[in-house]
Structure 1
Amino acid sequence: MGASDERYSPIARLIHWLTAILVLTMVPAGLVMIRIDSGPLQNQLFDYHRSVGIVLMILTLVRLGYRLTHKPAPLPESMPLWQQFAAKATHAFLYGFLLVNPFIGWVATSAYGAAISVFGLFTMPAIVAKDRALADQLFQIHLVLGLLFTAAVVLHIAAALYHGLVRKDGVLGRMI
């Protein structure tokens, strides 16, 4: 079996696709929730966005632990070095974001004075005292990082489709 035919383990694929589903629902929820009027729908979107953010942060820690103990499938040798670098850099950014931005959201929400109930199962503790000025600054950082993350996700999806549909080099198949 060549490098282009090697697949990620079933556990790595499960974590990847669970992360993808959560991200592809959480990001739109976040964008909608800040653009609609206050009310029950906005509250539900905030609760969902915050809950998924915490789950993604935990899931990413699990994923990183798994990745440290299970090498990922190698990239095809035919892939140009700049693409290998871009793939590794994008993955590093995605992992970093999935740890840092939910944490920033948690701190910002704490500073705002709101609770984070994770799907009604438990409530995250506030990690800073109420400070609306700090909350406003952190929410702006959270938004900017969220937009950068969205761009990286689009790049990741586009690269996967390029490898699967144009190059047909087995990169996409490693995760399917």
Structure 2
Amino acid sequence: MIRRTYHPAQRFLHWTIFLLILIGFPLGLIMVERDYNPVTDVMYTLHWSIGLTVLALMIARVASRLAFTAPKPAAVLTGWQRTLSHLVHVGLYVMLFVVPILGWLGKSAYGAGAQGINVFYLFHVPVLLEKDEDLAETLLFAHEIASKVFLVLLILHVAGALYHAFVKRDGVVGRMGIGKRVAEPEA
């Protein structure tokens, strides 16, 4: 019997990205519905900044996954639960790259100025495309659709975590740093 948890770096990145999504996703929904003014401008800058930060943290997350690997699937999971969990996790990883990259490309094509895209009013990242408003509209529409796909995957992920935390109470959630951690046989 051994304790099967994720490395502290993996847990830190998981929860940091989650908190950024909790801020950035609703910010994106609100900002596009507002009339443009200085407050809306700040909201856009924060949304872009959070998205680019998530992208950078996802690069670190993949590196940490390669460096530390992940624990084997929890032995308490049934075959279909392991498959669903794997598919949801792969989808989340893919979307956590696709969504910010589409946003970066869309903002680039929309026009970010000579300095590039402002990140937390600290520095600028370069634009990736020349100004092309038609392309920008297409990319930002794709960003919106990808965000909705991400949201569905996130809901599935959170629902699974809540199921294991409050219905099964089997310690699966403790592997990512919350709740009781249980010693379990290897899968």
Q: How many residues align?
A: 174
Letter in 1 for 2:61: R
Partner of 1:85: 83
**Aligned counterparts, 1:66-85, within 5 A:** 66-85=64-83
Give the aligned residue type for 1:162.
Answer: Y
DSSP 3-state at the match of 1:117: strand
TM-score normalised by the chain length of structure 2: 0.89
Residue 117 (structure 2) pairs with residue 116 (structure 1): yes
What residue in structure 1 maps to residue 17 of structure 2?
A: 19
Instruction: Return 97-106 or 74-83, whichever deviates more.
Output: 74-83
- The equivalent of 2:8 in structure 1 is 10
How far apart in 1 are the matches of 2:13 and 2:151?
19
User: How far did 1:67 drift?
Assistant: 0.3
8 Å CA contact 2:98, 2:146 repeated in 1: no
For 1:95, the aligned partner's letter is Y
Give the counterpart letter for 2:160 in structure 1: A
Gaps of 5+ in 2: 179-187
Which segment is superposed worse, 78-87 or 68-77?
A: 68-77
Shift of 1:65: 0.7
**Structure 1 contact 76–169 (Cα < 8 Å) conserved:** no
Task: Tell me the percent identity.
Answer: 37
Give the partner amino acid of 1:84.
Answer: R
1:100 alignment counterpart? 98
- Cα separation, 2, equivalents of 1:14 and 1:48: 21
Q: Where do 5+ consecutive residues of structure 1 fail to align?
A: none
Give the corresponding residue for 2:28.
30
Aligned partner letter, 2:102: I
Paired AA for residue 57 in structure 1: L
